[in-house]
Chains A and B, each alone.
Chain A
């Protein structure tokens, strides 16, 4: 969920300078030097020199997202607050802020997800000091009126309206709401509609939100591209040293394991093909526990375009337009979610059974070493090909920072992928893909079920 762009998808790569010819032989997946400096106030500056002459990507990673929305009635606030961060300070009011960005010709935006809010700018290296000055200023001195706050709430409702002409969003919302009991992953990053409608009344809470989370120990500045490291750190000290640490401690309520299968049906008023979503509680991101990387590999084995299930449902029987399943990286256990769109309502049950059967099969049939190697090769080449420009590199490294605070997690997780065995695949499949651990959402055109 982002202020302007919606969902962050990293651009496909074509300008990567890999240091060896064969990706599969790299010991570290990330091919660039990572510098890390931690300031006295605990703000971490991560910098990565990258061959993008004259261009720098500047990211501020706030390790707070909709997961941090623990109070009832205030879902969606991390995202709403992301909008408010563009409303200015005394030094740079919103017009001045936009004027300067415009003069730079910068590409500037932000996005929010479950675990993070990221503010990002792509601009000329010459603009680095100005960017840092403005970013440090708004992270320390944000100031907005009640009127501005209420007006922005209208834009949030507009974003909700925009998103919810798609059944995917409704299904995703209902899936999470049903699958989680207490955990804040129960709501999407947009938040519940009733909370969005109440946002104009929550000005005081917005100040509290800023005070809690927009603190140096909770943020990481990521700079990628063409810059001078010594100068960068000098500037960081100049602009960020006065930022004070906070003291808030987050307690996210944890769910007990799901005991019973859940089922939701959604009638859709407009035209649509039947859609099915199945969520299984999965594993949290970890650089030491093998479960999460194993789930990623299962995602490929069962749902990639080379899987028997894809061949059966998409190519041979042609019952579905697509079928896919994966679990996004998350700080707490997220949902391994399967999506499919079914061409004919008469095949809904058969498609669902085919998916269950494919997941059952992987519990008992060892995957061949050759197939496992193929999946690992795909993961590595996909990663390498996603690092073609400074902005993409900053986005990728910020992803791992949001999860652990440590950019080296990127190398550690790919080392873990290498360690996944056929036995791990069967064990993890048996552990997570159980009937009682799943939530099923079916959406069909109203009156067609």
Chain B
């Protein structure tokens, strides 16, 4: 094979971009200056997320962000804001997660001044119109009541896993709250939350592109006018330990069976061990590629479904790419496996197959050859993640959140130094195939529950022949024992999920 000189490199931005953090009047500004780029991105970041939701009013963080970002200013109604942005094809949208809320503005430099006035006014002088509040409240309620419960089984499975994994933890409810929580929120609650949380102590800004340098000072002055308040940082408790396989069967009408599995891990990008585990995960289940063990064994060899991946941090795909959405960082992360919908009769086998592969990984570790190949891949592939200034700025701000060097640079530095012992140590230290939570979105929960509780053999049903090697391995997988914690496992009608 040809030896490739792989120099996917940071030269993409060399010479045209400077990064630095500017701090004055309590407002921190992350800059990514690209003078040749006429496109400007502003990311206004608040250290607040669904963990800051008022008890009983779960969803107030998301609803406040939407009422601001999808609302009006003191001067302009929401419709007038839309009318202004439209001819410029400019956009402003809020994004919320567990610990961070961010407003992302994108505009061509032809219209930067007018755009910035609207963008900053939305945050500094929000209109808090009752109609905007009600429209956005409906949007969030419908997302939980209808979209997740009725029309999006894969995300339903992922959200159900989150709820199941973080029982009695601030991460438990969704990023947009609960149904009862949302219903109880009034516009006055939103105003109070804004006043308490949208303070300069909780805020920082990022800007990227060919902006005038004078704008940085202006942003510091303008956002420095946010009121002073207390930090809303919350000390997160440890997630509850998991004993054996705990399963939540989410029952709803469903054509296929969507499966998510996982457990919390005590690692973030700040930690040195994160990087060898990141490599292990890439080998085992890199998102939307054919590299991973899971993808090759479940889909490639057996045609069980459309895809099978694994993750070591909360992972949302950025629209229009196969890369991670920036600015959803968390101080506590989790390992997870995403098994895309399988035929219902193969669900038990698919869970066994994924667990079997995870156990093999834990027991056998990786080889030097696998390490070398994955290392090369990840060092180069990660450089594709920041091909635009907007995404690069997002990654930079996430690195600052974690108190770590720029993520893409750190991946290269850490991975280059990795030895086989490093990766096999972190496999043993952080992964296991026994103590894991599983959510299964299924049409027939009772049958699957009975089969799983009884460890009934689950031969895979093929519509066409596969090789003898696969059939031989199937014999092992179809009776692979799953130690199920019956007491902690349950069937939950979908109508009970996300309720409170």
Cβ–Cβ contact B256 & A162, under 8 A: yes
Contact among A53, A122, A304 for B14, CB-based, below 8 A: A53
Contact size class for A? 35 or more
Q: Kindly state whether residue B410 has any CB partner on chain A within 8 Å.
A: no
Once A105-B376, A165-B256, A381-B88 are accepted as A-B contacts, the answer to whether A152 and B150 lie under 8 Å apart by CB is: no
Bound-state Cα–Cα, A304 to B498, Å: 32
Name the residue of chain B whose CB is nearest to the CB of A200.
B464
Q: Kindly state whether residue B24 has any CB partner on chain A within 8 Å.
A: no
Cβ–Cβ contact B343 & A161, under 8 A: yes
Interface residues of A in 357-390 (CB under 8 A from B): 373-374, 377-378, 380-382, 384-385, 388-390
Question: Which chain A residues lie closer than 8 Å to B318 at the CB level?
Answer: 11
Once A9-B320, A23-B108, A315-B135 are accepted as A-B contacts, the answer to whether A153 and B381 lie under 8 Å apart by CB is: no
Residue from the set A53, A98, A168 with the largest chain B CB neighbour count within 10 Å:
A53
Question: Which chain B residues lie closer than 8 Å to A53 at the CB level?
Answer: 9, 11-12, 14
Name the residue of chain A whose CB is nearest to the CB of B208.
A14
Once A9-B319, A11-B320, A147-B466 are accepted as A-B contacts, the answer to whether A165 and B149 lie under 8 Å apart by CB is: no
Contact with B along A380-405 (1 / 0, CB 8 A): 11101100111100000000000000
Question: Which chain B residues lie closer than 8 Å to A381 at the CB level?
Answer: 87-90, 108
Question: How many residues on B have C-beta within 8 angstroms of the other chain's C-beta atoms?
Answer: 100
Q: Kindly state whether residue B447 has any CB partner on chain A within 8 Å.
A: no
Q: Kindly state whether residue B303 has any CB partner on chain A within 8 Å.
A: yes
Q: Kindly state whether residue A311 has any CB partner on chain B within 8 Å.
A: yes
Bound-state Cα–Cα, A208 to B43, Å: 52
Question: Which chain B residues lie closer than 8 Å to A316 at the CB level?
Answer: 131
Question: How far does the Cβ of A312 sit from chain B's closest Cβ, in whole Å?
Answer: 11
Residue from the set B110, B252, B254 with the largest chain A CB neighbour count within 10 Å:
B110
Contact among B6, B78, B109, B302 for A124, CB-based, below 8 A: B6
Question: How far does the Cβ of A57 sit from chain B's closest Cβ, in whole Å?
Answer: 10
Q: Kindly state whether residue B234 has any CB partner on chain A within 8 Å.
A: no
Q: Kindly state whether residue A269 has any CB partner on chain B within 8 Å.
A: yes
Stretch at the interface among A37-45, A125-133, A179-187, A211-219: A125-133
Question: Which chain A residues lie closer than 8 Å to B41 at the CB level?
Answer: 14
- Count CB-based A-B contacts (< 8 Å): 282
Bound-state Cα–Cα, A447 to B88, Å: 45
Question: How far does the Cβ of A376 sit from chain B's closest Cβ, in whole Å?
Answer: 9
Residue from the set A11, A109, A373, A374 with the largest chain B CB neighbour count within 10 Å:
A11
Bound-state Cα–Cα, A270 to B131, Å: 29
Once A318-B134, A378-B86 are accepted as A-B contacts, the answer to whether A151 and B11 lie under 8 Å apart by CB is: no
Cβ–Cβ contact B38 & A273, under 8 A: no
Cβ–Cβ contact A12 & B390, under 8 A: yes
Name the residue of chain A whose CB is nearest to the CB of B299.
A155
Question: Which chain A residues lie closer than 8 Å to B150 at the CB level?
Answer: 268, 270-272, 445
Cβ–Cβ contact B306 & A105, under 8 A: no
Interface residues of B in 281-324 (CB under 8 A from A): 288-291, 299-307, 318-322
Question: Which chain B residues lie closer than 8 Å to A271 at the CB level?
Answer: 145-146, 149-151, 252, 494-495
Cβ–Cβ contact B138 & A318, under 8 A: yes
Interface residues of A in 1-52 (CB under 8 A from B): 4-5, 8-18, 21-23, 52
Cβ–Cβ contact B108 & A159, under 8 A: no
Bound-state Cα–Cα, A152 to B305, Å: 9
Contact among B302, B322, B373, B377 for A154, CB-based, below 8 A: B302
Cβ–Cβ contact B142 & A122, under 8 A: no
Q: Kindly state whether residue A103 has any CB partner on chain B within 8 Å.
A: yes
Question: How far does the Cβ of B320 sit from chain A's closest Cβ, in whole Å?
Answer: 4
Cβ–Cβ contact B37 & A55, under 8 A: no
Interface residues of B in 80-115 (CB under 8 A from A): 82-83, 86-91, 106, 108-110
Q: Kindly state whether residue B214 has any CB partner on chain A within 8 Å.
A: no
Contact with A along B348-377 (1 / 0, CB 8 A): 000000000000000000000000011011
Once A107-B384, A165-B258 are accepted as A-B contacts, the answer to whether A123 and B320 lie under 8 Å apart by CB is: no
Bound-state Cα–Cα, A144 to B475, Å: 26
Question: Which chain A residues lie closer than 8 Å to B302 at the CB level?
Answer: 151, 154
Cβ–Cβ contact B305 & A305, under 8 A: no
Bound-state Cα–Cα, A150 to B146, Å: 36
Cβ–Cβ contact A105 & B8, under 8 A: yes
Cβ–Cβ contact A272 & B146, under 8 A: yes
Q: Kindly state whether residue A343 has any CB partner on chain B within 8 Å.
A: yes
Q: Kindly state whether residue A164 has any CB partner on chain B within 8 Å.
A: yes
Interface residues of A in 86-110 (CB under 8 A from B): 86, 94, 96, 98-100, 102-109
Once A14-B389, A271-B494 are accepted as A-B contacts, the answer to whether A161 and B256 lie under 8 Å apart by CB is: yes
Name the residue of chain A whose CB is nearest to the CB of B5.
A126
Cβ–Cβ contact B322 & A385, under 8 A: no
Q: Kindly state whether residue A306 has any CB partner on chain B within 8 Å.
A: yes
Q: Kindly state whether residue B417 has any CB partner on chain A within 8 Å.
A: no
Cβ–Cβ contact B303 & A153, under 8 A: yes
Cβ–Cβ contact A155 & B303, under 8 A: yes
Once A126-B4, A385-B106 are accepted as A-B contacts, the answer to whether A11 and B388 lie under 8 Å apart by CB is: yes
Cβ–Cβ contact B151 & A166, under 8 A: yes
Question: How far does the Cβ of A19 sit from chain B's closest Cβ, in whole Å?
Answer: 10
Question: How far does the Cβ of B84 sit from chain A's closest Cβ, in whole Å?
Answer: 9
Bound-state Cα–Cα, A123 to B8, Å: 7
Contact with A along B1-34 (1 / 0, CB 8 A): 1101111110110100000000000000000001
Question: How far does the Cβ of B107 sit from chain A's closest Cβ, in whole Å?
Answer: 9
Bound-state Cα–Cα, A100 to B6, Å: 12
Contact among B78, B319, B384 for A122, CB-based, below 8 A: B384
Cβ–Cβ contact A162 & B154, under 8 A: yes
Bound-state Cα–Cα, A153 to B464, Å: 9
Question: Which chain A residues lie closer than 8 Å to B300 at the CB level?
Answer: 94, 151
Once A12-B106, A102-B376, A161-B255 are accepted as A-B contacts, the answer to whether A151 and B303 lie under 8 Å apart by CB is: yes
Contact among A96, A108, A164 for B255, CB-based, below 8 A: A164
Contact among A14, A268, A380 for B209, CB-based, below 8 A: A14
Question: How far does the Cβ of A406 sit from chain B's closest Cβ, in whole Å?
Answer: 25
Question: How far does the Cβ of A104 sit from chain B's closest Cβ, in whole Å?
Answer: 6
Bound-state Cα–Cα, A373 to B2, Å: 54
Question: Which chain B residues lie closer than 8 Å to A105 at the CB level?
Answer: 6, 8, 376-384
Cβ–Cβ contact A107 & B381, under 8 A: yes
Contact among A103, A166, A167, A306 for B82, CB-based, below 8 A: A306
Interface of A with B (CB < 8 Å)? 4-5, 8-18, 21-23, 52-55, 86, 94, 96, 98-100, 102-109, 122-127, 129-130, 147, 150-155, 157-159, 161-162, 164-168, 200, 268-273, 304-306, 311, 314-316, 318, 321, 341, 343, 373-374, 377-378, 380-382, 384-385, 388-391, 445
In the A-B complex, the 3 residue pairs with the smallest Cβ-Cβ separation, listed nearest first, are A105-B380, A154-B303, A150-B464
Interface of B with A (CB < 8 Å)? 1-2, 4-9, 11-12, 14, 34, 36-41, 78-79, 82-83, 86-91, 106, 108-110, 131, 134-135, 138-139, 142, 145-146, 149-154, 208-209, 252-256, 258, 288-291, 299-307, 318-322, 340-343, 373-374, 376-384, 387-391, 462-467, 494-495
Q: 24 pairs across A/B with beta carbons < 8 Å?
A: A4-B322, A12-B106, A15-B37, A16-B37, A21-B109, A94-B300, A96-B1, A105-B377, A153-B464, A157-B303, A161-B343, A162-B256, A162-B305, A164-B255, A270-B252, A270-B253, A273-B142, A306-B82, A315-B135, A321-B138, A341-B142, A343-B138, A381-B89, A389-B388
